[in-house]
Amino acid sequence: MTQLTNDYNRILKSIWSRAPDGINNVWPEDAIKAVKALFKREFPEREWPYEIKFTSGNRYTWVRRSLGKDGRYRGGRTVFINCEKGWEHLVHDWSHWLNFVHGDGRKAHCEEHLMLERDCAEYVISRGWVKSEPAPTPVKKKSDRVVERYKRLLSNKAATEKRLAKHRAGFERAEKRLKSLDRDIRSYSKKYEKRLA
């Protein structure tokens, strides 16, 4: 191991050891606050440019470009936040992104990145986002199928009535047009009887 790697591990382990017990308890609301605050702290002159989505499993907290319906990349960018891996991983991944956004040739795990990640970790701990109690699991309301079906029936009825009104209007226009054509035909047959015979 190099000296920088030893420093990296020593410094970050000492910072996270001062945090409350819940470095694996990332609350989604706090993760959003942390990611935005760390971005604003590093780039105060810039507006927040990203959408936010949550991810899980073996995925990094990282920014990805949005895919359009045609499968091509679009201009929009989305931050995918993984709350399952804990604060240590979230701060590490996000500090990599911030280091990348600086764009001044910094490499990953360089001295500047070490200082950036150290400052980010201290900021997250000082703001009280690391909590010892686990994040509340959202309570899923059990859906009532009867109510859902009734609502769907009502919306289907409204859509059908709208279509019927549109067709009735078209039918009435067609009837008026037929009457007008009948009137013109009678007029022509009287006026030009000899020529039409």
Q: What are φ and ψ of residue 80, in 5° steps? A: -100, 115
pLDDT tens per residue across span 171-190: 888 899 999 999 988 888 88
Query: pLDDT band at residue 71, thresholds of 50, 70 and 90?
Result: low
Q: Count Cβ atoms within 10 A of the Cβ of residue 91 and give its class: 0-12 exposed, 13-18 middle, 19 or more buried.
A: buried
Q: What is the pLDDT of residues 119-140, one digit of tens each?
A: 999 999 999 999 888 887 777 7
Chain position carrying tokens 């279509």? 163
Distance of CA 22 to the CA centre of its chain: 27
Per the CB < 8 A criterion, the answer to whether 38 and 94 are in contact is: yes
pTM listed for this prediction: 0.65
pLDDT of residue 88: 92
Instruction: Give mean pLDDT, residues 83-98.
Output: 93
